[in-house]
């Protein structure tokens, strides 16, 4: 569980606040999506929650204040997948996923650790790539490998920054479907930033909207993803349609006049 209370943050080189008294909650067994226009602080919010940045206000992880966690304790509780997840080293997929256990590894890798890697690769349907070099995979396949690396520690909290960016529709839906299924099955807390609003509407249980550094609103996708929200936050006129399978789709119509 993640509880954020009146979190504010600004960079030293500017007096302007990037985040201004953000309060929100992300629950176990649920996918909570953070959305908003480009450059409004979504990634900065995630880094504050992970302890990479230190804003003012409060963050509690599973009921415990963030400052009371040691670095090792945080690593055991939170898996964080940033947008910058390129690997330039000549490593196989198996080795990349194994590195997710770096805080636990000794000079000799145990049979249980090797089995854990094989298990997570199988669960994400990428076991066939285990011996391939990570650089040989497509963008969607690599992203699944990095998600496997984040999951290998069996975290209580999974935080992902734009995990579907630059992927085609197939991999966007595959990754979000897997994350949703695992979040429910393992009962961990998943907090994710997304730009693909159709994915938010389809897979998120709760949505937090950040606008101009503040929390514009938070609630279910049905309550939050409205035409008024898109006008206020994205400056777009939209129509929200329902497909034959019941899924909702957001159709951009026109830009709002200034």
**Residue whose pair of structure tokens reads 């309060």 in the numeric block:** 23
Answer for the pair 81, 143: CB distance below 8 angstroms, yes or no: no
**21 is known as an active-site residue:** no
Alpha helices in the chain (DSSP H): 42-50, 71-77, 93-98, 111-123, 139-151, 169-186, 197-203, 221-224, 227-234
Question: Strands 157-161 and 189-193, how do they pair?
Answer: parallel
3-class state of residue 181 by DSSP:
helix
Distance CA 66, CA 58 (A): 8
Distance CA 46, CA 66 (A): 13
Tokens representing 120?
């997570």
Q: Which of 113, 162, 181, 186 is catalytic?
A: 162
Backbone φ and ψ for 62, nearest 5 degrees, come out as 50, 45
Write the CB contacts of 74 (distance below 8 Å, at least 6 apart in sequence).
Answer: 50, 51, 61, 66
For the annotated catalytic residues, the residue numbers are 162
């Amino acid at each position: 569980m993640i509880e954020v209370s009146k979190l504010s943050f600004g960079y030293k080189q500017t007096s302007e606040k990037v985040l201004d008294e953000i309060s929100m909650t992300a629950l176990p067994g649920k996918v909570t999506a953070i959305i908003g226009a480009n450059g409004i602080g979504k990634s900065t919010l995630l880094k504050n929650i992970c302890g990479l940045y230190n804003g003012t206000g409060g963050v509690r992880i599973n009921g415990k204040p963030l400052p009371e966690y040691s670095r090792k304790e945080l690593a055991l509780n939170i898996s964080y997948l940033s947008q910058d997840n390129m690997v330039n080293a000549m490593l196989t997929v198996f080795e990349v996923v194994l590195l997710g256990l770096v805080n636990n590894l000794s000079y000799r890798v145990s049979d249980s650790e090797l089995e854990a890697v094989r298990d997570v690769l199988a669960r994400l349907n990428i076991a066939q790539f285990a011996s391939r070099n990570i650089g040989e995979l497509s963008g969607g396949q690599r992203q699944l490998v990095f998600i496997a690396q984040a999951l290998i520690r069996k975290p209580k909290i999974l935080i992902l920054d734009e995990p579907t960016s630059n992927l085609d529709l197939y991999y966007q839906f595959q990754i979000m479907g897997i994350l949703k299924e695992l979040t429910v099955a393992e009962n961990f807390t998943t907090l994710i930033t997304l730009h693909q609003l159709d994915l938010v509407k389809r897979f998120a249980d709760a949505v937090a909207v950040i606008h101009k550094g503040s929390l514009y609103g938070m609630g279910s996708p049905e309550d939050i993803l409205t035409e008024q929200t898109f006008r206020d936050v994205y400056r777009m006129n939209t129509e929200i349609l329902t497909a034959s399978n019941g899924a909702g789709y957001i159709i951009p119509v026109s830009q709002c006049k200034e």
